């Protein structure tokens, strides 16, 4: 009965529980409800108490597990029930741990959600702060713009206040208001400025109309002039026979001037100066402009005559490329061709040149052709001397024009270019010295005639250049050229006489010379610089008194069996600079170095003015006679009182025209 009652009661309880459960589930989702309750419980419970509960539960689990292990190890038959009870308690403890874990998870989730909410709030407030700062910055910029704003009236340059009150009418200036109100003063000044500008605009329009009227008048007159041009050409063409009859080559001069306008600037300067010199001093001077006019026009139209220093080909020379042999050779040949083209361009002349023909007596003409190097920027000269004067066998190259013009001024040999930049330009293209290029001779006097001036590396030459540039270069140079040509022609005549052994008779000269001389001129021949350097006195060559550009001769004097040899160096500027004698006596005649030095000093130095070679030879003959007679090596024919004098045993070489002529010591 008891069991049946228990069974009925349990059935009733299950029925009631199931009924209540079904009723409760209808109110909502059980899982969500549990979650909500646990979240609420997790927030209500203290984390510290849960932590303490967690530690206590873990300790209980350890103790239960240890006790279970001991009971299983024992052989007590009643231990099974106790083990079962301990297992149940341990399982409940694990359930408690799971609950504590869920509580902690809920707390962590809530903390994270709170953190996210706080961060979102902070970000929102920070963004709002940034917006406010940007707005403040924008407002500051606007304020600065407003403060820096300038009205257009500030750009107008107004008249001063004093001038405004002085010139403006009373209706505009209104001094009773403007003097106490700056704003009204500004407005009044602007109004006065506007009034003045309107007046000036009206005046400008009036002047523009007047200008148009003048322009129309000028165009009408220009049209009349244009119509007159063909008629004038017809008149000029018809007047050509009259011009030829009167010797007025007007057309030729006009054409020459038109052609000269195409010259390079330095050559045009030279042409203008030479033309002025011809018209003022020398009508025999012929000036011509030669060359291709069309090519000159093309050359003048080119932009940038000087080649750029930046050369990419030079940079590529050091790059080693591993290419086939035939390609490398082809590239090298192509580059060499370009280098050759650059060399030719560097040495290019202007198509037009200026030719001067200087006429002298005896049908002597010196032709000078002046060329301008476009890229080297120097003027070169090619010359030719035409004369009927013969210099004889020993004249050598004295009548060659280059020899005549050599060292027309001191140290102006024309071997190197006077432009210092040319040295680097030629070295860059491996062209060697300027004198080896066959472009003419770049004399410094030619540069001065063309108006070109360069800095010289030698301060002495620079000082001379400055002194010469102060003079009229064309006048001085042409006079010097004429003097040099005349002197060279006279030298040739003198050389021809000396070759034949005919010495002139010297009378009424500043430096007296004896006429009765026994020593004769046996031979007079030319010699080379190499032979002269081998035989001449070493100090003469070492001191630079002679150089390879001089002209050298050898004269042999004889008296009986005694012989004296004179080696003569003639400077290019002879006779302004006397010839230099270096002597030696045959071994048969005893002569010390002092004797030779005294004779050389007498012949080279002891003159009042520069002597001629004939005069020097005449004195040398007299000195040789005196030496032989004082040494008793020849009969005494000259009158002298003492054969030697002083410690150096000097001879009486000085000639005086007293009585029949006597020789004394100096």
Rg of the chain in Å (alpha carbons): 61
Asked if residue 304 has pLDDT above 70, the reply is no
Asked if residue 239 has pLDDT above 90, the reply is no
Average pLDDT on 288-295 reads: 89
User: Which region, left, alpha or beta, applies to residue 587 given φ > 0 means left and ψ of -120 to 50 means alpha?
Assistant: alpha
Asked if residue 3 has pLDDT above 60, the reply is no
In this prediction, residue 665 carries a pLDDT of: 85
Asked if residue 156 has pLDDT above 70, the reply is yes
In this prediction, residue 18 carries a pLDDT of: 44
Average pLDDT on 333-354 reads: 84
* Weakest mean pLDDT among 53-67, 103-117, 361-375, 459-473: 459-473
Average pLDDT on 376-383 reads: 92
In this prediction, residue 73 carries a pLDDT of: 82
**pLDDT, tens only, 605-634:** 988 888 889 899 999 999 999 999 888 888
* Weakest mean pLDDT among 284-293, 295-304, 337-346, 494-503: 295-304
DSSP-assigned states of every residue in 571-639: -TTTTTS--EEEEEE-TTS---HHHHHHHHHHHHT--SSPPPHHHHHHHHHHHHHHHHHHTTSS---S-
> Please, which residues have CB within 8 angstroms of residue 537's CB and are 6 or more apart in sequence?
582, 600
Closest by alpha carbon to 569, among 623, 511, 620, 526? 526
Average pLDDT on 189-200 reads: 91
Q: Is the peptide bond before 177 cis (omega within 30 degrees of 0)?
A: no
**pLDDT, tens only, 451-489:** 888 877 666 665 555 445 544 578 888 999 999 999 888
In this prediction, residue 328 carries a pLDDT of: 45
Say which residue, 315 or 78, is predicted with more confidence. 78
Average pLDDT on 314-318 reads: 39
Structure token digits, residue 94: 């694990």
Q: Which span out of 381-390, 432-441, 607-616 was modeled with the highest average pLDDT?
A: 607-616
Grade residue 9 by pLDDT with cuts at 50, 70 and 90: very low
**pLDDT, tens only, 508-537:** 678 888 888 889 998 998 888 888 888 766
Asked if residue 388 has pLDDT above 80, the reply is no
Average pLDDT on 168-180 reads: 88
Spatial distance between the Cα atoms of 579 and 291, rounded to a whole number of angstroms: 42
Q: Which span out of 334-348, 376-390, 449-463, 557-571 was modeled with the highest average pLDDT?
A: 557-571
> Please, which residues have CB within 8 angstroms of residue 183's CB and are 6 or more apart in sequence?
none
* Weakest mean pLDDT among 142-146, 158-162, 210-214, 587-591: 587-591
**pLDDT, tens only, 104-133:** 888 888 889 999 999 999 999 999 999 999
In this prediction, residue 305 carries a pLDDT of: 42
Say which residue, 240 or 107, is predicted with more confidence. 107
In this prediction, residue 203 carries a pLDDT of: 95
How far does CA 579 lie from the centroid of its chain? 45
Mean pLDDT of the chain, nearest integer = 81
Torsion of CA 293, 295, 298, 304, to 10 degrees: -110
Structure token digits, residue 167: 């010139």
CB 641 within 8 A of CB 652: yes
Spatial distance between the Cα atoms of 345 and 338, rounded to a whole number of angstroms: 10
Grade residue 396 by pLDDT with cuts at 50, 70 and 90: low
Asked if residue 405 has pLDDT above 60, the reply is yes
Grade residue 197 by pLDDT with cuts at 50, 70 and 90: very high
What interhelical angle do 473-499 and 459-469 show, nearest 10? 110
Looking at residue 441, the DSSP 8-state letter turns out to be: B
Asked if residue 243 has pLDDT above 50, the reply is yes
Closest by alpha carbon to 546, among 578, 507, 587, 586? 578
Say which residue, 174 or 41, is predicted with more confidence. 174
In this prediction, residue 603 carries a pLDDT of: 92
What is the share, in percent, of the chain residues with pLDDT greater than 70? Answer: 85
């Amino acid at each position: 009965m008891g069991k049946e009652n228990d069974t009925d009661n349990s059935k009733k309880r299950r029925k009631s529980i199931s009924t209540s459960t079904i009723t409760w589930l209808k109110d909502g989702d059980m899982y969500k409800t549990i979650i909500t309750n646990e979240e609420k419980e997790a927030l209500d419970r203290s984390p510290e108490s849960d932590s303490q509960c967690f530690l206590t539960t873990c300790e209980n689990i350890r103790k239960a597990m240890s006790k279970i292990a001991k009971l299983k190890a024992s052989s007590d038959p009643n231990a099974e029930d106790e083990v079962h009870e301990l297992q149940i308690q341990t399982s409940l403890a694990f359930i408690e741990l799971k609950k504590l874990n869920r509580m902690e998870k809920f707390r962590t989730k809530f903390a994270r959600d709170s953190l996210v909410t706080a961060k979102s709030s902070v970000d929102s407030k920070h963004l709002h702060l940034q917006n406010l700062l940007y707005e403040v910055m924008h407002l500051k910029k606007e304020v600065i713009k407003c403060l820096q704003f300038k009205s257009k009236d500030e750009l107008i340059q107004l008249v001063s206040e004093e001038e405004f009150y002085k010139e403006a009418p009373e209706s505009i200036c209104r001094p009773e208001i403007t003097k106490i109100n700056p704003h009204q003063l500004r407005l009044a000044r602007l109004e006065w400025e506007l009034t003045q500008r309107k007046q000036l605009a009206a005046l400008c329009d009036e002047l523009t109309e007047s200008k148009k009227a003048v322009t129309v008048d000028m165009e009408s007159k220009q049209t009349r002039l244009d119509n007159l041009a063909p008629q004038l050409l017809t008149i000029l063409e018809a007047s050509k026979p009259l011009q030829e009859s009167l010797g007025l080559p007007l057309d030729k001069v006009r054409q020459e001037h038109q052609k000269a306008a195409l010259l390079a600037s330095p050559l045009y300067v030279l042409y203008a100066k030479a033309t002025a010199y011809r018209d003022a001093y020398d009508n025999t001077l012929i000036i011509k402009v030669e060359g291709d006019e069309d090519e000159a026009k093309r050359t003048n139209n080119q932009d940038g005559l000087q080649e750029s220093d930046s050369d990419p080909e030079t940079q590529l020379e050091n790059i080693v490329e591993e290419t086939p042999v035939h390609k490398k050779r082809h590239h090298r040949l192509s580059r060499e061709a370009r280098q050759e083209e650059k060399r030719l361009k560097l040495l290019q002349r202007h198509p037009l040149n200026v030719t001067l023909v200087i006429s002298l007596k005896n049908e002597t003409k010196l032709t000078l052709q002046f060329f301008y190097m476009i890229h080297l920027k120097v003027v070169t000269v090619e010359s030719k001397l035409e004369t009927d004067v013969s210099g004889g066998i020993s004249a050598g190259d004295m009548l060659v024009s280059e020899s005549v013009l050599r060292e027309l001024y001191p140290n102006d040999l024309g071997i190197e270019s006077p432009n210092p930049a040319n040295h680097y330009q030629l070295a860059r293209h491996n062209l060697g010295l300027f004198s080896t290029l066959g472009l003419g001779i770049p004399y410094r006097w030619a540069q001065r005639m063309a108006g070109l001036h360069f800095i010289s590396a030698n301060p002495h030459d620079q000082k001379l250049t400055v002194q010469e540039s102060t003079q009229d270069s064309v006048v001085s140079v042409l006079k010097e050229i004429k003097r040099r040509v005349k002197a060279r022609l006279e030298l040739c005549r003198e050389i021809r006489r000396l070759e034949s052994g005919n010495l002139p008779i010297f009378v009424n000269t500043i430096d007296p010379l004896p006429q009765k001389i026994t020593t004769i001129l046996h031979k007079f021949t030319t010699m080379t610089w190499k032979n002269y350097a081998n035989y001449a006195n070493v100090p003469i060559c070492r001191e630079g008194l002679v150089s390879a550009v001089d002209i050298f001769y050898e004269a042999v004097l004889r008296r009986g069996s005694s012989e004296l040899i004179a080696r003569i160096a003639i400077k290019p500027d002879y006779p302004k600079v006397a010839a230099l004698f270096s002597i030696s006596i045959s071994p048969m005649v005893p002569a010390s170095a002092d004797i030779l030095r005294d004779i050389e000093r007498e012949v080279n130095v002891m003159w009042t003015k520069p002597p001629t070679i004939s005069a020097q030879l005449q004195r040398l003959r007299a000195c040789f006679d005196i030496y032989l007679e004082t040494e008793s090596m020849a009969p005494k024919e000259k009158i002298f009182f003492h054969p030697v004098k002083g410690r150096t045993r000097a001879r009486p070489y000085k000639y005086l025209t007293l009585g029949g002529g006597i020789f004394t010591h100096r």
